[in-house]
C-alpha cells in the first residue's frame, strides 16, 4: 500500500523524476545489487530484472549536476545528455550500460565508449533492421541469448527460465496497469493531469517495476470523474516532452488524452508473456511492437496506426514534439501534418533541444494553439 493514496503516489513518482540519482542510490543501498543504465529504446529489461538488477532508462535529462563535455553539438540532445550523465552523478551509480540499436547515433555510442576504454561493462543490443525480413526472429533470439549471458555475468547470478518467466509477469502486470491508466485518461479527460502522467511514466523507468505497479494501483484506485472539457483534448507524439510542456498544458486547462511518446506510451505498449520459451516471448514482443519510427518503416502504415489511436483517444488536437537532430523521427512531420490537415485536426509541431531555457520561446505558441476552436 502507498501511504497517502493517489496523492502519495504522485509525490513518490515526482521525487523519482526530480532526483533519479537519489532513487537509484536508495535502491542499491537497500538491495545491495547493481543498476544498469539503458539508453532508449526497447532494451529487453526483463533479462536484467531476472538477473537481480535494476534497469534504469537514461534519457539524458536526469543529472542535477551534468558534466560538461556531453559531445559535439551535432549530436542529438538525448545522446549528449546520456554522455553527460555517464560522466556525472548518475553514471557514478550505474554499474553497466546497454545501448540498443535505436538509431545509428546510439549504436555508435557503444563503439565510442568501448574504444575509449570505458571501465564499466557495455552491451550493444542490436535489433534486426526489419521485423519482417527473413531470419529476423532467429537473429533476435541469438542476441537475446547473448544479452542473457551478459546479464548473468554482470549480475552475478544465473537467469533461469523460471526467473525470467517471473520477470515477464512482473513487467506485463506493470504494462497492463499503465495501459489502464491511459484508458482512463481518454475516457475521463483530466483523470490525471499531463504533468502527473509525465511523473508516472518517467518513474517507471527509474523505480523497480514492482514499486511502480504499486504507485499505479494507488492512482487507479481513485474513481474516474465526468472529465474536463475546458481547454481541449490533446494527443502528444514524438520522443519525449520537453521541460515545461506538460505543465503548460495543465495551466492552460488542456487534458492529455493520449500520446505516442517514446518516453510514455511506446515504452509501455505490448506484453511479452506467452506459452513456452521465455526468451521467445521477448522475441515475439519485440517483433510485434506497435509501428514506431525507430523500428519500422515510416509513412502510411505508421500514419494510419497513429491516427487511429488519435481518433480512439477522442483528442481534438495534436502536438508533435521533434527533438532536434533526432534521426528516426526527423521525417515524421510531413505525413503527420498532412494527415491532420486531411482530417481537420488542429496540429502544432514543436522543435526542442530539451533545454529548460527554451520554454518561453514556445509557451506562447502552445497557449495560442490551445485557444483554437474553443
Q: Which three cell numbers stand for residue 362?
A: 514556445
**What ranges do the domains of the chain cover?**
23-157, 163-371
Q: Strand 347-352 to strand 317-323: parallel, antiparallel, or no bridges (unpaired)?
A: parallel
* Contact call for residues 288 and 273 (beta carbons, < 8 A): no
Whole-number Å distance between alpha carbons of 340 and 87: 42
Which strand ranges, in their side-by-side order, compose the sheet holding 317-323?
255-261, 233-238, 317-323, 347-352
Prediction pTM value: 0.93
Q: Which residues contact 273 (CB under 8 A, 6 or more apart)?
A: 165, 168, 169, 172, 281
Region 163-371: CATH code: 3.40.50.11900
* Run of H or E including 99: strand 96-100
Whole-number Å distance between alpha carbons of 137 and 324: 33
Q: Identify the band that residue 192 occupies on the pLDDT scale cut at 50, 70 and 90.
A: very high
* pLDDT tens per residue across span 195-214: 999 999 999 999 999 999 99
Supply φ then ψ for residue 322, to 5 degrees.
Answer: -110, 115
Given a cut of 90, whether residue 319 has pLDDT beyond it is yes
If one counts every other C-beta atom within 10 angstroms of the C-beta of residue 111, the result is 12
Which stretches within the chain are classed as H helix?
5-18, 20-31, 45-50, 77-87, 89-93, 104-115, 136-155, 161-187, 194-203, 209-220, 245-251, 265-268, 278-287, 300-313, 332-343, 359-371
Whole-number Å distance between alpha carbons of 107 and 92: 22
Region 23-157: CATH code: 3.40.50.11890
* pLDDT tens per residue across span 50-109: 999 999 999 988 754 444 455 666 678 889 899 999 999 999 999 999 999 988 788 889
Sign of CA dihedral 85, 87, 93, 98: positive
- Residue 296: the pLDDT is 61
* Contact call for residues 323 and 329 (beta carbons, < 8 A): yes
Work out the end-to-end distance of the chain between its first and last CA atoms, rounded to an integer number of angstroms: 41
Amino acid at each position: 500500500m502507498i501511504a497517502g493514496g493517489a496523492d502519495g503516489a504522485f509525490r513518490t513518482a515526482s521525487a523519482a523524476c526530480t532526483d533519479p540519482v537519489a532513487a537509484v542510490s536508495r535502491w542499491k543501498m537497500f538491495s545491495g545489487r547493481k543498476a544498469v543504465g539503458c539508453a532508449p529504446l526497447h532494451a529487453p529489461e526483463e533479462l536484467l530484472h531476472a538477473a537481480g538488477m535494476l534497469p534504469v532508462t537514461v534519457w539524458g535529462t536526469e543529472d542535477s549536476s551534468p558534466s560538461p563535455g556531453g559531445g559535439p553539438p551535432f549530436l542529438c540532445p538525448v545522446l549528449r545528455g546520456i554522455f553527460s550523465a555517464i560522466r556525472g552523478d548518475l553514471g557514478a551509480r550505474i554499474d553497466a550500460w546497454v545501448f540498443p540499436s535505436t538509431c545509428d547515433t546510439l549504436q555508435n555510442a557503444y563503439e565510442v565508449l568501448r574504444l575509449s576504454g570505458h571501465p564499466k561493462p557495455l552491451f550493444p543490443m542490436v535489433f534486426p533492421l526489419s521485423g519482417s525480413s527473413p531470419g529476423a526472429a532467429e537473429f533476435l533470439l541469438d542476441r537475446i541469448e547473448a544479452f542473457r549471458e551478459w546479464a548473468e555475468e554482470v549480475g552475478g547470478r544465473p537467469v533461469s527460465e523460471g526467473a525470467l518467466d517471473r520477470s515477464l509477469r512482473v513487467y506485463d502486470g506493470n504494462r497492463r496497469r499503465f495501459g489502464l491508466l491511459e484508458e482512463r485518461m481518454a475516457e475521463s479527460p483530466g483523470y490525471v493531469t499531463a504533468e502527473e502522467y509525465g511523473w508516472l511514466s518517467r518513474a517507471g523507468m527509474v523505480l523497480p517495476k514492482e514499486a511502480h505497479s504499486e504507485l499505479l494501483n494507488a492512482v487507479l484506485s481513485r474513481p474516474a470523474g465526468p472529465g474536463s472539457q475546458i481547454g481541449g483534448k490533446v494527443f502528444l507524439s514524438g520522443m519525449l516532452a520537453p521541460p515545461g510542456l506538460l505543465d503548460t498544458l495543465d495551466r492552460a486547462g488542456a487534458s492529455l488524452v493520449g500520446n505516442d511518446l517514446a518516453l510514455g506510451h511506446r515504452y509501455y505498449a505490448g506484453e511479452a508473456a506467452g506459452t513456452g520459451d521465455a526468451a521467445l516471448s521477448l522475441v515475439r514482443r519485440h517483433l510485434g511492437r506497435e509501428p514506431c519510427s525507430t523500428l519500422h518503416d515510416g509513412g502510411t502504415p505508421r500514419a494510419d496506426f497513429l491516427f487511429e489511436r488519435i481518433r480512439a483517444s477522442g483528442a481534438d488536437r495534436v502536438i508533435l514534439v521533434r527533438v532536434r537532430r533526432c534521426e528516426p523521427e526527423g521525417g515524421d512531420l510531413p505525413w503527420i501534418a498532412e494527415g491532420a490537415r486531411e482530417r481537420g485536426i488542429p496540429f502544432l509541431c514543436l522543435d526542442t533541444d530539451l533545454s529548460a531555457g527554451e520554454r518561453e520561446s514556445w509557451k506562447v505558441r502552445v497557449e495560442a494553439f490551445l485557444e483554437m476552436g474553443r
